[in-house]
Structure 1
Amino acid sequence: MDVDLILKDKKFGDSGIWSLCQEVFKKRTKEGNDLIVKCLEKRPNINNLNKSGYLLKYLIEERGTEDMKKSHGGD
């Protein structure tokens, strides 16, 4: 995958990885969870705020799997 995971949309300021997490968390699947883990292993910045003041780091800590939490390494 050659996708910019931290490129933000203009409306909400959500990064690609944030949007992916939001969609996967709506209806969890093993494949979706595995894709998030794979993306997190690329070490995107999870400490950027969106326009609502939320961090991807907190979303993962609150709603993510243990594998997701390990993949981002607690940055």
Structure 2
Amino acid sequence: MDLNLRKAILSNISENDQSQLEATIVDAIQQGEEKMLPGLGVLFELIWNQSGQQEKQEMLDALEQGVKQATS
């Protein structure tokens, strides 16, 4: 069976507006369930691909800080 997780996730959110997308992200983070990680990964991939170099650097800076805080 060929399951394309990206396509399934994108299909599930294709009609969502900004508030629904935000609710999806917040809910996934608050629940903290492992099964939500692929969906967050797909959303991050979309953000990354739509971002310019400066925005990517800002995300990397924030990510680095978050990793340091989470592991200290």
Fold shared, TM-score > 0.5 on shorter chain: no
Report the TM-score, using the length of structure 1 for normalisation: 0.39
Of the two, which has the highest radius of gyration? 2
